[in-house]
A and B are shown apart, each in its own frame.
Chain A
Amino acid sequence: MDGSDQRGCSDSRISGTHVNPGVSGSTPHNSRRIALIPVVPGDAHGTLSVSAVPLSFWGGFDPASGKVMDVHHDLCGQSLAGRVLVMPFSRGSSSSSGVLLESIRLRTCPAAIITQTAEPILAIASIIARELYGRWVPVATVSKDDMALLQNGCAVDVRISHDAGEMLIQEGT
């Protein structure tokens, strides 16, 4: 238990009528689908860490531990390692690219980052990590309405190709 909101993922608001057309391919019967707009392609699986507060990776995240350290942030003290991080946008330091890159090197990085607007600072770490280490953090954007449906603690699969993306939320997680 990490203190995050664990309201469960079978919220009735996540229903077929809210689901936007995603990438082609079948959706497993017991999951719901949210459309994503690709920024950095890649696939990921993880548990959602959702916050309405933007995060600066520099000064707000410790790449050695993978934990949020920004005292102004509601996820402060929680680990983002292997999590699918959802927030409206990033903020603050341009050194965030470097911090995120270092966390990719140390394998303490989020599994994927989903925002409403994804500025280059987030994408740059992934572009360079792919060149240096052959692994990276997929990045995509999500609509404000769909973001409101995402809850802490849900297990999700993220699939982002060059021209489409989707998040599959596993029911009952």
Chain B
Amino acid sequence: MQVRLTEEEEHALSGHRGEALRLAMTIVVELGSLYGAERLIPVSQAHIDGCLYSAVGEAGADFATKLASLGARVAVPTTLNITARDILNWQEFRIPPEHSENSRRVEDAYLEMGCIPTWTCAPYQYGIVPRCGDNIAWAESNAICYANSVLGARTNRYGDLIDICCAVTGKAPEFGLHLKDNRMGEILVAFDVPVDAFDDDSLYSAAGYLAGEVAGSRVPVITGIPRCASPDNLKAFCAAAASSGPVGLLHILGLTPEAPALGTAFGGRTPREEVRVGLADLLAAAGRLDAAPAAPGGVNASSVVPDGANAESGKPGAVDLVVMGCPHASYMEVERVARLLWGRRVREGVEFWVLTSRTVAGLVSRSGLGAMLRDAGVRLCCDTCILQFPLEAWHVASIVTNSGKMAHYAPSMIGCRTYLRGTVACVDAALTGEVTWRGRQ
């Protein structure tokens, strides 16, 4: 398929406007050609995930430094996803100097190209926020899902390195989720769960995880999610759905802009499949996210006998790291932790880390919460994620988190026992050093 180009785009592609633009345009056009795009469309902004050294490695460093050295500049406002270190406090987190230096090389290349140093995986909360209907070129699976679903902006699931090519050209190929026809619901996922079950906020993660598993590569329309779900709840939901499946767009009836009614969400069509989800299914999904690391030889998590907190034994499990802020915590989430902790200290021997952006950390510091959290024993880890730098120096054997996304990836990437619990249970675990089983249900 030949992508029809404007005269300006042809000029860029032919190299008349420099080698950097030629390279970026070549890649954008090639992607369009492979996916049958008829033309390129302007994007209003980009979000870059390829700036993460621990993911892209030397190959990604090669590409970024090549583009930067050719003089590439972003053509649209371009925010940056997390990097592989806390840029200011990498030593506090015992990040090896070599890792920090590798990360810096890639950071510098993107800054040289004119990107905005947001260093956050939640750019829709503290970044440049697109409008409903805007075409954008975003990478970072949770941000893509949030931007499409909650904001109604339009982006494909762009991956590392095409993101910067779209930013430099200011263009994206018109296919997939940029086109209205492809944004219609294809499967109904109906939650029939008591509203107060969601008082345990980790169940938003579990619900998203389950929706992603069920939907697979289809666009799900979801019903039965409480209308009082906050942007942070929807953030957790989208992040989990984009972990268990390739979900770039989901609709939640009554909550997301393209789903004011079922008919609208399905584009007037009848859903080809309907899946009903009860409380037991939801709790089972949450249970799948309580996972052990793979045993030597690659045994699946589910086949490993749980050695920690579980409903069968009723025993609490020991925990040595409580981690919140995946995706990056909002001010409100940090404030909630501070309120729950008020006047108490994290138990000796337990680490409590909240991952967030430098922007939120600034607000936290200026509001006075920063000092209070520090005194309580909470560390704010900024610009990055604990999955992106070596944790060996911390000897983490088990973590508890309120994030389905973190719970999904941590057993594989850190090799630790992982528990998914709500914010209240996470803070409680920080105070006691133990995580309890999900008693309520």
Contact = CB atoms under 8 A, between A and B. Distances in A.
Nearest to A41: B34
Q: Which secondary structure dominates chain B's binding surface?
A: helix
Interface residues of B, number: 58
A127 B243 contact: no
B116 to A, nearest CB: 19
Given A98-B59, A102-B60, A72 B408 contact: yes
Contacts of A132: 59, 62-63, 66
A96 B298 contact: no
A95 B52 contact: yes
Contact of A98 (B60, B157, B293): B60
Residue of B34, B140, B141, B242 contacting most chain A CB atoms (<10 Å): B34
B144 interface: yes
Interface stretch (B24-32, B122-130, B269-277, B421-429): B24-32
Interface in B210-250: 212, 216-217, 242-246, 248
Nearest to B302: A72
Given A124-B31, A128-B161, A59 B298 contact: no
Interface stretch (B251-259, B364-372, B409-417): B409-417
Interface string B387-413: 100000000000000000000110111
A128 B63 contact: yes
B119 to A, nearest CB: 15
Contact of B293 (A71, A74, A106): A71
Interface in A43-99: 54, 56, 58-60, 63, 67-74, 76-78, 88-99
A3 interface: yes
Contacts of B412: 59-60, 69-72, 76
Interface in A118-159: 119-121, 123-125, 127-129, 131-133
B35 interface: yes
A94 B408 contact: no
Contacts of B66: 132
Contacts of A133: 59
Given A98-B59, A120-B156, A128 B298 contact: no
Interface string B191-213: 00000000000000000000010
Contact of A94 (B62, B158, B245): B158
A88 B293 CA distance: 24
A94 B30 CA distance: 18
Interface string A92-122: 1111111101101110000000001101110
Contacts of B160: 94-98, 101, 124
Contacts of A74: 300
A106 B140 CA distance: 24
B301 interface: yes
A33 B257 CA distance: 46
A34 interface: no
B114 interface: no
Contacts of A129: 59
Nearest to B162: A124
Given A91-B243, A98-B52, A105 B59 contact: yes
A95 B56 CA distance: 7
A39 interface: yes
Contacts of B62: 105, 132
9 contacts: A3-B297, A72-B291, A76-B298, A94-B141, A102-B57, A102-B58, A117-B217, A124-B158, A131-B23
Interface of B: 23, 26-27, 30-31, 34-35, 49-50, 52, 55-60, 62-63, 66, 139-141, 144, 156-163, 176, 212, 216-217, 242-246, 248, 288, 291-294, 297-302, 387, 408-409, 411-413
Given A128-B63, A131-B23, 11 more contacts: A72-B288, A72-B302, A76-B300, A88-B216, A89-B216, A93-B141, A97-B159, A98-B50, A119-B248, A121-B157, A123-B35
